[in-house]
Amino acid sequence: MIEHIFTIGGYGHTLNSFFGQLSENNIEVLVDIRQRRGMRGIKYAFLNASALQEELRNRNIAYIHLKELAPTTTIRDAQKSSDVASKTTKRDRSTLSECFITLYESEILSKNSEYALQKKLEPYKRICFFCVEGTPKACHRALVADWLSAALKIQITHIGALNE
């Protein structure tokens, strides 16, 4: 049964800092909630799905991909439009737009069940939601963590959080 929810983003990490944060926090399962599980460039190659899963296996951390919690292209495009309007890059974004949050809640969270998710993650006590943005408030992983935490009354810790 889940006892604690963590989140982590990829940007700003090296292989050692990313996996070090998971180990230091005794993460039992990394829950990947990205739509596309690849990262551009060599700097973050360790976060591409196959490399990520291999490193997690080597460290005895389970891996689950829950694409149903990833924002759709339409939802991501709404955030991109907001970023363009505010002249903010994805990596510099500090919060999600109201449009993104509204769409994500209505199109993703409302179509999922906190208790069904809890059942999928039942074998694990310390779970960590993962996506790419460095800052939790700029990423849907914080929305997922808040949603699950509210239903299950479980504490959230954003590990390795940038810009906070």
Q: What is the pLDDT along the chain (164 residues), one digit of tens a residue?
A: 999 999 999 988 999 999 999 999 999 999 999 988 877 779 999 999 999 999 999 999 999 999 999 999 999 999 999 989 989 877 788 899 999 999 999 999 999 999 999 999 999 999 999 999 989 999 999 999 999 999 999 999 999 765 43
**Confidence at residue 161, expressed as pLDDT on a 0 to 100 scale:** 62
**Confidence at residue 89, expressed as pLDDT on a 0 to 100 scale:** 79
CATH of region 4-158: 3.90.190
Q: What are the residues facing 9 on neighbouring strands?
A: 131
Would you kindly state where each structural domain of the chain is located, as residue ranges?
Answer: 4-158
> What percent of the residues of the chain are helix, what percent strand, and what percent coil, each to the nearest 5?
50, 15, 35
pTM of the entire predicted model: 0.94
Residue 40, sorted as left (phi over 0), alpha (psi -120 to 50) or beta, turns out to be: beta
**Confidence at residue 37, expressed as pLDDT on a 0 to 100 scale:** 81
